[in-house]
Every structure is written in structure tokens, then in C-alpha cells.
Amino acid sequence: MAWNNILGKRGEQLAVSFLEKKGYQILAINWRHRRAEVDIIAKDEAILVFVEVKTRNNNNYGEPEIAVDQKKEDLLAFAGAAYMREIEHDWEIRFDIISIIYKNEQSFTIKHFEDAFFPNN
């Protein structure tokens, strides 16, 4: 497996642990709908949360969260809408970003951006 894939998977594992410690209920990891994927789907009390995780091993090219562009937001919204239809969703939603700089198991930073964007659609 390529280093970027390993780094991404490790970031997702850290994000799941981080959210669980905050009291979130994890509903799905790497949920796919057609060409779109949501890294983590969770509940924060009664709020359904779609989480995009971005992990880098440094911030030489900017913080990881800047990689969530309009195209990615649109794909997340598309997948989120499909998930909501599937579970017959009828409560509040939110789109979050978790940004991780990962050096090793003992050295990493996590930033959680709650309500990071609202879909245009």
C-alpha cells in the first residue's frame, strides 16, 4: 500500500478515536455512494455529522483542511444526501473537517472544524 494511503488510514483511525472520546457515536466509516465517499458518519447527540478527514505528515504546503475544496464539498453533500435517504433521516445535519498533522504514534496534532461548510445544493 502506498504511503499516502497508509497515512490516510492512520488519520481516519485517529479521527474515529478522537470523536469517540468526545462522545460521538460512529455510524459508518468510508461510506460510499457512487463516486463519493464520506470518511466518517457519526452522531453528535441528535445531530448527524458527515466528517472529512485530511491527514498530512507536515504542513509545508498548507494545513490539511485546505484540501477540502468546493468539488470535495459537493461530493460530500451528494453522498450525505444519499445516506440520509437510505436511513430516512429527519434530524439536523452538519459537515465537519478533521485535520491531522501526523509525525508518528506519539507525535500528531488534530484540529476539529465543526460545521465547516454548508452545501450549496
C-alpha cell belonging to residue 59? 504542513
Q: Residue 46 region, left (φ>0) first, then alpha (ψ -120 to 50), else beta?
A: alpha
**What is the value of pTM for the model shown?**
0.92
**Going by C-beta distance under 8 Å and a sequence separation of 6 or more, which residues neighbour residue 93?**
47, 48, 49, 50, 80, 84
Q: What is the predicted pLDDT for the residue at 3?
A: 67
- pLDDT tens-digit profile of 32-55? 999 899 999 999 999 999 999 999
Mention every residue, 6+ apart, whose C-beta is less than 8 A from residue 44.
22, 23, 24, 94
Fold category of 3-117 in CATH: Trna Endonuclease; Chain: A, domain 1 (3.40.1350)
pLDDT in tens, 103-121: 877 889 999 999 999 877 5
Domain ranges of the chain: 3-117
How far from 119 is each of 33, 71, 92, CA to CA, in Å? 17, 11, 14
Q: What is d(CA 86, CA 32) in angstroms, rounded to the nearest whole number?
A: 12
> Which residue type, as a one-letter code, is found at position 80?
G
